[in-house]
């Protein structure tokens, strides 16, 4: 990274920042309803190096591209928005970042639902803070990164991804309460071995369909006279007049309960219970929330048939990855069986 920076920009970097991709173990499409999530960091990292320069210029070793950008200008609709947006957010918080050369190198696969964009936003903020000699708490970093994604990149996402990338630590799951932003790190017992597998389909239609789901959940809450579905009960949801809205709300309410049950299963080292909750979560995301695809359904089913305690789509859905709790099963032979039945799937992390 340092040698590449010198080769490209003729100077050494003055600051660096990094953040991992994440896998959400359970608790999807709950964050924007002030609910619960349980992500873990992946081994894949995004690294950012910076040095002061005459203008703003970024090179991505991952995309093999160099572009000039302007944090004060309009979003451009490309990967530089994930650099310009966070820099613009820092400046709104009184932390001005001078013109910089930026180098990005990432092993987090893009468009796979494992937070490559949040990892980049968080890594940019960390590098920029280090460059200007400022500090921010991890939670504030996550909030600034989310604001960048909402305002600059046009996705009305919740706080899950940015919190996970900023706060998670290796070997620990993060229980995230999206109402209060309270976080609690939970050591993951060795019996809880998770595999992350991509179904081979790029996520499609994500932003539009995502924003529509979010709007339905907010409409359901206001119809029930609530601030968010966090306060809804299974019974109150049955009173919603529209069948589709009822199903969307049922997912959110039941998924929040599953996250809390999964945390108990983690504390008591109960892989069987945790796996069963993952299977229920997948069903709820597929049937009630309608964010799965035939490829994700097939992959989750073969993951379980090959010996996983449970498997579910992870992240926004519409393609991307599943996470499977493979426990003490032999990862190589489990993967051989899954891959044989799903020729386009590829292992992100075993």
Q: CA-CA distance, 247 to 286, in Å (whole number)?
A: 11
Instruction: Give the residue nearest to ligand GLA (CB).
Output: 157
First to last CA, the chain: 26
Residue 317 or 327: the one with the smaller Cβ distance to ligand GLA is 317
Residue 26 vs residues 213, 251, 286, 309, 312: alpha-carbon distances, Å: 18, 12, 14, 14, 8
Work out how close the CB of 161 gets to ligand GLA at its nearest, in angstroms, rounded to a whole number.
5
- The β-bridge relationship of strands 182-187 and 172-177 is antiparallel
Q: Looking at 131, 308, 316, 338, which residue binds ligand GLA (CB under 6 A)?
A: 316
Catalytic hit among 28, 31, 81, 161? 161
* Contacts (CB under 6 A) with ligand GLA, residues 21-50: 24, 28-29, 31-32
| Residue number with CB closer to ligand GLA (89 or 161) | 161
* Whether 96 is catalytic: no
Q: Of 142-171, which residues contact ligand GLA (CB under 6 A)?
A: 157-158, 160-161
DSSP letter string, 166-201: HH--TTEEEEEETTTTEEEEEEPPTT--EEEEE-SP
Shortest spacing between CB 84 and ligand GLA, in angstroms? 19
Pick the closer one to ligand GLA by CB: 102 or 176.
176
CB of 160 to ligand GLA, least distance (A): 4
Among residues 196, 127, 121, 123, the alpha carbon closest in space to that of 155 is found at 121
Helix (H, G, I), strand (E, B) or coil at 67: strand
**For ligand GLA, the closer CB: 20 or 158:** 158
Burial of 245 from C-beta contacts in 10 A (0-12 / 13-18 / 19+): middle
- What is d(CA 241, CA 255) in angstroms, rounded to the nearest whole number? 21
CB of 266 to ligand GLA, least distance (A): 19
Q: Any idea which residues carry the catalytic annotation?
A: 161
The site for ligand GLA (CB under 6 A) is made up of 24, 28-29, 31-32, 157-158, 160-161, 315-316
């Amino acid at each position: 990274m340092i040698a590449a920076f010198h080769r490209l920009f003729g100077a050494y970097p003055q600051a660096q920042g990094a953040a991992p991709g994440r896998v959400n173990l359970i608790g999807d499409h709950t964050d924007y309803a002030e609910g619960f999530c349980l992500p873990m960091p992946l081994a894949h990292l995004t690294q950012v190096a910076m040095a002061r320069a005459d203008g703003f210029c970024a090179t991505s070793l991952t995309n093999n591209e160099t572009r000039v950008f302007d944090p004060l200008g309009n979003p451009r609709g490309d990967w530089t928005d994930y650099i310009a947006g966070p820099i613009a957010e820092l400046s709104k918080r009184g932390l001005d970042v001078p013109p910089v050369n930026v180098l990005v190198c990432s092993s987090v696969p893009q468009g796979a639902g494992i937070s490559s964009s949040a990892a980049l936003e968080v890594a940019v903020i960390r590098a920029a803070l280090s460059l200007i000699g400022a500090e921010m708490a991890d939670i504030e970093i996550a909030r600034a990164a989310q604001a960048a994604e909402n305002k600059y990149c046009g996705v009305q996402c919740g706080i899950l991804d940015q919190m996970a990338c900023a706060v998670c630590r290796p070997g620990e799951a993060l229980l995230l309460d999206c109402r209060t932003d309270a976080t609690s790190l939970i050591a993951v017992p060795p019996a809880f071995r998770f595999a992350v597998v991509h179904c081979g389909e790029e996520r499609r239609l994500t932003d539009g369909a995502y924003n529509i789901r979010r709007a339905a959940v907010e409409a359901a809450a206001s119809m029930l006279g609530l601030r968010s579905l966090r306060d809804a009960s299974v019974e109150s949801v049955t009173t919603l007049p529209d069948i589709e809205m009822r199903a969307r709300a049922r997912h959110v309410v039941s998924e929040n309960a599953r996250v809390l049950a999964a945390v108990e299963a983690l504390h008591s080292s109960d892989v069987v219970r945790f796996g069963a909750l993952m299977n229920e979560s997948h069903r709820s995301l597929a049937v009630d929330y309608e964010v799965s695809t035939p490829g994700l359904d097939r992959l989750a089913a073969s993951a379980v048939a090959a010996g996983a305690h449970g498997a579910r789509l992870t992240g926004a859905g519409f393609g991307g990855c599943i996470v499977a709790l493979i426990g003490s099963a032999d990862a190589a032979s489990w993967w051989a069986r899954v891959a044989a039945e799903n020729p386009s799937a590829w292992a992100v992390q075993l």
